[in-house]
A = this chain, B = another copy of it.
Amino acid sequence: MRVAIVGAGVAGLSCGQALLSAGAEVHWFDKGRATAGRASAKRAFGGHVDLGAQYFTARHVAFREQVERWQQQQLVAPWPAKLYSFAEGHLQPSADDIKRYVGLPAMHSPWRSGLPEQAITLSCRIQAMSYQQGWQLQAEDGRSFSGFDALVLALPPAQASELLTQDEDLRQQVPVSMLQPCHAIALALSEPIAHPATAVFVKDRPVSWVACNSDKPGRQSDSQHWVLHFNPEFSQQQLAARADELSLLAQAELSLLFQQDVLVTQSLHQRWLYAIVDAEQGAPGVLISRRFPCVVAGDWCLGGRVENAWLAGQQAAKAVFHV
């Protein structure tokens, strides 16, 4: 069985790895220059900076077993963050004590481990798909790929929807506006912040998350640096904002949170167009076509978060054998 997976983020990689283990032949396509999607980190500040996924939890037993294997391979470590919350102008320690993990040395490390490089086509935006006996895929640059028995769309819902022109029934089930945007900014500081907090959940401010990336286990770095996520409402409203504007705002937020001046030496911006699940829209589950051997999967199928991306990928792999 030959399976094409469009989207090599956490869900797509999880699905493909499960299919490989089950003996299928797998090929991934991704428009990005690297795998792991929102879990991919950027090289900067003398190491890797996690601009997307900040950590992950392991509530589900199957994922916990996977995380344990990764820990043995030193691809994952617990992150004993000093967690605070900021609300109504007050910064205080958080009672939240759920176990958080990060990839080593960067967030993408566990997902990329053991991938067969020759089975991955990067910088390749699939623009059209059609089914006649097998699947045929057309990339924007004119390349054509064919002979797949099944297809997994491991994409944000808006992008999956665009490809499903042949399958109106399935397309109708895709919640196109479910993933909300997120502006992420990383700031390298000339002086470390003098405060015990290493991660802060923020309320009622433009930012919703602040974390000291250089505090995470196994991170190399030439200076203390922080990652800030702007909340979905702000990110949506300022969707086209420039990196320099956002950096200044992030600096001001950091300063306000910790009540001290911060001097920024370098900054980094990433706009995630499709990042945060809108929980009010529910969770549709992994979607399976009734017309073609095609499955649609992503974190958004199960309510968002890294762990659910992995689980959705596993479910999609099972579904592939029944389509």
Contact = CB atoms under 8 A, between A and B. Distances in A.
Contacts of A112: none
B129 A240 contact: yes
A311 to B, nearest CB: 27
A48 interface: no
A162 interface: yes
Interface in A25-54: none
B165 A181 contact: yes
B162 A241 contact: no
Given A138-B271, A158-B162, A130 B239 contact: yes
- Looking at A128, A137, A146, A181, the one whose CB has the most chain B CB atoms below 10 A away is A128
Interface string A92-110: 0000000000000000000
Nearest to A180: B165
A136 interface: yes
Instruction: Determine how many copies of this chain the complex contains.
Output: 2
B240 A130 contact: yes
A240 B128 contact: yes
Contact of A240 (B138, B158, B162): B138
Interface in A232-275: 236-243, 271, 273
On chain A, which size bracket covers the interface?
20 to 34
A141 to B, nearest CB: 12
B177 A165 contact: yes
A238 B177 contact: no
A27 to B, nearest CB: 14
Interface string A213-245: 000000000000000000000001111111100
A271 B239 contact: no
Nearest to A244: B144
B162 A271 contact: no
Given A239-B130, A240-B137, A177 B168 contact: yes
A112 B249 CA distance: 42
Nearest to A163: B239
A241 B166 contact: no
Contacts of A243: 144
A35 B33 CA distance: 28
A127 interface: yes
Contact of A129 (B127, B165, B239, B242): B239
24 contacts: A127-B273, A128-B240, A128-B271, A129-B239, A129-B240, A130-B236, A130-B238, A130-B239, A132-B237, A132-B238, A135-B240, A136-B241, A136-B242, A138-B239, A138-B240, A144-B240, A144-B242, A144-B243, A146-B240, A165-B177, A165-B181, A165-B236, A166-B236, A166-B239
